[in-house]
Amino acid sequence: MKRILNAVIAAALGAGIAGQAAAADLTVRIEGVEAATGTFHVAIFDADGWDGNDAVAGKLTAAEEGAELTFSDLEPGAYGIRIYQDVDNNGELNLGMWGIPSEPYGFSRDASARMGPPRFKSVRFDLPEAGTVQTITLQ
């Protein structure tokens, strides 16, 4: 799960897409927030970047129920999303016994994590040129 942290931080520090032919907007809604404390770390991946933690975009925002972030100018295609809530704002995803996250996290399509992050096929969604909204419920 520490891989999630590295990917989200790298994305939040300015990963982007170069040479786009078309642009689409992706809105990410976050639900299931138990405590409105800390920061959401959100990273967007394409299929090639998912396993290598090479995000195409990332953002940080204050944690609150129903938070929304919009990623503009993404190339239409297949993507997956990783989110975690840094409740204590220490800049990392806290892990408990056996490497299980002790802070809330989630994936697109509300894919569940078993023995590490889900595979791309479980989180994959299509971003059309018209844009889309993905709602993720934290685990």
Tens digits of residue pLDDT in 5-42:
555 555 544 444 444 468 999 999 999 999 999 999 99
- The pLDDT assigned to 97 comes to 86
CA distances in angstroms from 121 to 2, 81, 124, listed in the order given: 20, 12, 5
% of the chain exceeding 90 in pLDDT: 78
- The pLDDT assigned to 114 comes to 84
Give, in words, the CATH class of 2-137.
mainly beta
pTM for the model: 0.83
For 44-58, how does the pLDDT look when each residue is reduced to its tens digit (9 = 90+)? 999 999 999 999 999
Domain ranges within the chain, ordered by starting residue: 2-137
DSSP H or E run through 77 = strand 77-86
- Cα 72 to Cα 35: distance, rounded to the nearest angstrom: 28
